[in-house]
Structure 1
Amino acid sequence: MPVRPTRNPGSQSALRLSNQQRILSNLVSSGPTTQADIARNTGLSNATVSNIVKVLVERGLVSTSPTTSSGRRAQLVSLKSTDGAVSVGIDFGRRHVRIIVATVDYRVIGEKDVEIPLGYTAAEALDIAANLLTSTLLQAGVQRSAVLGVGVGVPGPIDSRTGTVVKGAILPEWVGVTVRMVEESFELPVYLENDANLGALAESTWGPHAGTPTVVFIKVGTGIGAGLIFNGRPFLGHIGLTGEIGHTPIHEHGLLCRCGNRGCLETVASTAIMIDMLSRALDRPVRTRDIVRLVLAGDERAIRVVDDAGFAVGRSIAAIANLVNPHTIIVGGPLADLGEMLLSPIRRGLQRYAVPMIVETTELVMSSLGERAEALGGAALVLQHSGIHPTLS
């Protein structure tokens, strides 16, 4: 899991909320615990824990009872009901913000998404998301103090050492944004992660392939990224920069990529490239949803664009498959509704460039979670950080 740096306290109210979440997370993962043990587990002072526990008792989130610990009188703190605690997942896309609120037993109780204009700044997006968070919690009847944390997905690489979005993000406005900045906006603990990594976590948690030991999740969107699940756990690599499949060279003398190389997969198979080609072919502006509509309607130009892109994606996936021999490869992103129309060319690329035995034994499927995957993954990330794992049937 990603490393979360020490947060900047910011305002006193933000610090109090942060400390409340730390105590709630400890109670969720450890069960009934003495105040002294909570202080040791969280690093908070005994006085701070005592004051916060009083507030949580007043809000009906916890109860206290006398007990003994090491032969001394102590105060045992228990959650009144884990049903009251929730996690939040937020996904930032090129033109949207999506939020999901989930209970500790992995039930979605709140969900919203809004469209935002192209070229938005990170500060603008965070303001929109903060308001969306407030309204979604209100609609779900959840107190802010019951939120264990917020899992935030952005379309770009995250340096797990510092919790910072680094160069290479699809949204350059996010480069340099840190987990501390996001926490100050939400006044809640935040876990910042790459969107494809969250998509992989969602598929291995919420999807029909939950429990599959080795999964590769491929998000085909404005950028193209891969999330990896090894032995049931996310694999983030040395500093968190795994899965940059979009910068796999496909054509040596191809278009110049934003990463500085030429002919990368993103320059031939991203939805941005598809939109550009179809907009010129149709002589009118096209959006991602138009690609899906045109392909399903049988438009030959759209079908050809998707077919070429899918084959290129399959070629790049083959390199991953040859390296890690996954059980399942799941394709997600905004084109998921195309189903076999996108999977078929990806499969041909995989068959052409992967070892035959790997092709025969690897399952290639379309995501069943669609565009919800990344936000669902954010919610799952928070729960797993709190020590709460789903019960798989």
Structure 2
Amino acid sequence: MTTPESRMRVANRTQVLDLLGRSAPVSRAELARRTGLSRSTVSSIVQELLAAEQIVETTDAAVPRSGGRPPSLLTLSGAPGTLVGVDIGHRHVRVAVADLAAKPLAEHEIRLDADNSPVETIDRAAAMVRECLAEAGIDPKRDRVLGVGMGIPGPVDPHSAVVASPILANWIGLAPGEELASRLSLPVRVENDANLGALAEATYGAARDVEDVIYVKASSGIGAGLVLDGKLHRGITGIAGEIGHVRFEDNGPICRCGNRGCLEKAFGGTRLVELLQPAYEETLSVERLLELAQEGDIRVNRILDDAGRAVGRVLADLCNHLNPALIVVGDTMRHSESFVLGIKDSIDRFTQPDTAAALDVVPSELGDNAGVMGALVIADSASAAQPGTI
């Protein structure tokens, strides 16, 4: 049974390994200073890692002997380490293997109906991870893989890492992180996909150095990830940011979440396609709508403007509560100027004047890669947790 003490030990060990993977050779004293761990804790971890041949010890020859014995320096015995990101969307699986700076070494993507086939989806994701590792020349049995981060398109209970929401009905009761960890024999950390988009934009994208940001994931569905005071905010049951399931129409249709009249049901991409399809002879999709919008189609742009204003109306209430500095519009709807401007118009109309004056709305910089980049962010800390946990 894993105890709090053993989890702390694993976390401290990972912290030391991560620092060594990102630094030139350092002394024990420098490790203690930069990690904040006690010298005795660092010494114990170093002895354990030396015995396991995960690190090596050298002497700093640059220090003159007149100044005393040269300090011993520590470094990893092999490659610095590798991260794995897995982004599972409603209709795709995307995998990336990257170095510690999140520079991709190998990437694969497939189209797949993830909503209706959770076990097949995880099987395919595991196979893709193995393929990417092989393509990058990484052997998990020999090389250091820090961990795997995985995003799924629905809420995950932050206490159990189990899917417990009807938003992803066929995944209810499944612990996707544990499932993937058992297939790969690697530590896995799982998170909601919109949360990963928020982390990615805050780390590498449009929200770099922004402490309070709302990331809006808008395509066939609508959701949001919240970074507040520089930290991801999940809420007590992991559903913070589910703006797509805010009631928008009192007598609207039943939504997949079990409520009725939800914003997503009224203005999600799937609904927009249904509204516009009778006016077109060709078969429409969310992607085709955005192509038509960029071609200047007035009907499509009017609908996308309406959708942006509706989403912006819900976001305005959220902004009045949270007072963020930035809204980042991600996923496919970032391509629609009408949608983004619709959000801006509602923000200007419905937020407090001081809130609106301090707030900007911008499209995502990372685009389709936001989910997998966010997965790489949390992969770095996967080994500090039990496999499959958040």
Give the TM-score normalised by structure 2.
0.80
What one-letter code is carried by the residue in structure 1 that aligns with 2:225? G
Deviation string, structure 1 residues 312-356 (Cα, Å, up to 9, x no partner): 100011011100100111110122222x22211111222222112
**How big is the shift at 1:248?**
1.0
Cross-structure match for 2:96? 100
Distance change (3 Å), C-alpha of 1:118 and 1:97 = closer
Q: Which residue of 1 aligns with 2:65?
A: none
**Match of 1:164, SS?**
coil
Q: Could you tell me how far 1:306 is from its partner in structure 2? A: 1.3
Q: Does structure 2 conserve the Cα–Cα contact (< 8 Å) formed by 1:156 and 1:195? A: yes
The 1:356/1:37 distance shift into structure 2, 3 A limit, reads closer
Change (3 A) 1:281 1:85: same
- Contact 2:334 2:340 (8 Å CA) reproduced: no
In structure 2, relative to structure 1, the CA distance for the partners of 1:330 and 1:23 (3 Å cut) is same
**SS in structure 1 opposite 2:235?**
coil
Q: Deviations over 1:115-139 (max 9, x none)?
A: 1247541111111111111111122
Which digits, 9 at most, give the CA deviation of each residue in 1:255-308, with x for residues without a partner? 222222221111112112122223343255322211211111122332222122
- Any stretches of 5+ residues in structure 2 without a counterpart? 4-9, 21-25, 32-39, 60-71, 385-390
Of 319-328 and 99-108, more deviation after overlay is shown by 99-108
On the 8 A contact 1:87/1:102 being kept in 2, the answer is yes
Residue in 1 aligned with 2:63? none
In structure 1, how many angstroms separate the alpha carbons of the residues matched to 2:284 and 2:315?
27
Q: Distance in 2 between matches of 1:95 and 1:376?
A: 18
1:16 is matched with none
Name the counterpart of 2:260. 262
Comparing 305-314 with 293-302, greater Cα deviation is found at 293-302
Who is 2:135 aligned against? 139
Q: 1:348 to 1:200 in 2, by over 3 A?
A: same
Shift of 1:147: 1.4
Candidates 354, 357, 371, aligned match of 1:357: 354
1:76 CA displacement: 9.3
Q: Is the 8 A contact 1:291 1:302 kept in 2?
A: yes
Q: Tell me the distance in 2 between the aligned counterparts of 1:382 and 1:227.
A: 18
Secondary structure in 1 aligned to 2:380? helix
CA distance in 2, matches of 1:117, 1:377: 21
Answer with 377-386 or 302-311: which moved more: 377-386
* 2:339 paired residue number: 342
Question: Tell me, what secondary structure is at the counterpart of 2:347?
Answer: helix
CA contact (8 A) 1:26 1:386 kept: no
Equivalent residues, number? 347
Aligned ranges 1:231-246 → 2 under 5 Å: 231-246=229-244
Alpha-carbon distance between aligned partners in 1 of 2:2 and 2:260, rounded to the nearest angstrom: 38
Find the counterpart in structure 1 of residue 368 from structure 2: 371
Asked if the contact 2:147–2:382 (Cα under 8 Å) also holds between the matched residues in 1, the reply is no
Q: What residue number does 2:203 align with?
A: 205
Equivalents in 1 of 2:251, 2:238: separation in Å? 29
Contact 2:50–2:56 (8 Å) recurs in 1 = no
Give 1:295's aligned residue.
293
Report percent identity of matched pairs.
32
Displacement of 1:168 in angstroms is: 3.3
SS of match in other structure, 1:156 = coil
Tell me the distance in 2 between the aligned counterparts of 1:381 and 1:41. 23
- Residue 107 of structure 2 is matched in structure 1 by 111
Identify the residue that residue 382 of structure 1 maps to in structure 2. Answer: 379
The equivalent position to 1:28 in structure 2, one of 8, 17, 33, is 17
Q: Give the conservation status (yes or no) of the 8 Å contact 2:148–2:376.
A: yes
For residue 28 of structure 1, what is the amino acid of its counterpart? L
Query: Are the aligned partners of 1:90 and 1:150 in contact in 2 as well (CA < 8 Å)?
Result: yes
Matched residue type, 2:259: N
Q: Cα RMSD between the aligned structures?
A: 3.1
Shift of the 135–22 alpha-carbon distance from structure 1 to 2, 3 Å rule, reads farther
Which 4+ stretches in 1 moved above 6 angstroms?
Answer: 21-24, 38-42
Amino acid paired to 2:268: S
From the superposition, tell whether residues 164 and 283 of structure 1 become closer, same or farther in structure 2 (CA, over 3 Å): farther
Secondary structure, aligned partner of 1:202: helix
Runs of at least 5 residues in structure 1 that lack an aligned partner in the other structure: 8-20, 57-61, 67-74, 388-393
AA in 2 matched with 1:289: E
Q: What is the aligned partner in structure 2 of residue 192 from structure 1?
A: 190
Secondary structure class of the residue paired with 2:130: helix
Shift in Å at residue 361 of structure 1? 1.4
Contact preservation (8 Å) 2:126, 2:180: no
Query: Deviation at 1:38?
Result: 8.2
Structure 2: how far apart are the matches of 1:386 and 1:328? 31
1:63 alignment partner AA: V
Q: Tell me how far apart the structure 1 counterparts of residues 166 and 2 of structure 2 sit (CA, whole Å).
A: 25
Deviates more, 1:232-241 or 1:201-210: 232-241
Letter of the 2:179 counterpart:
M
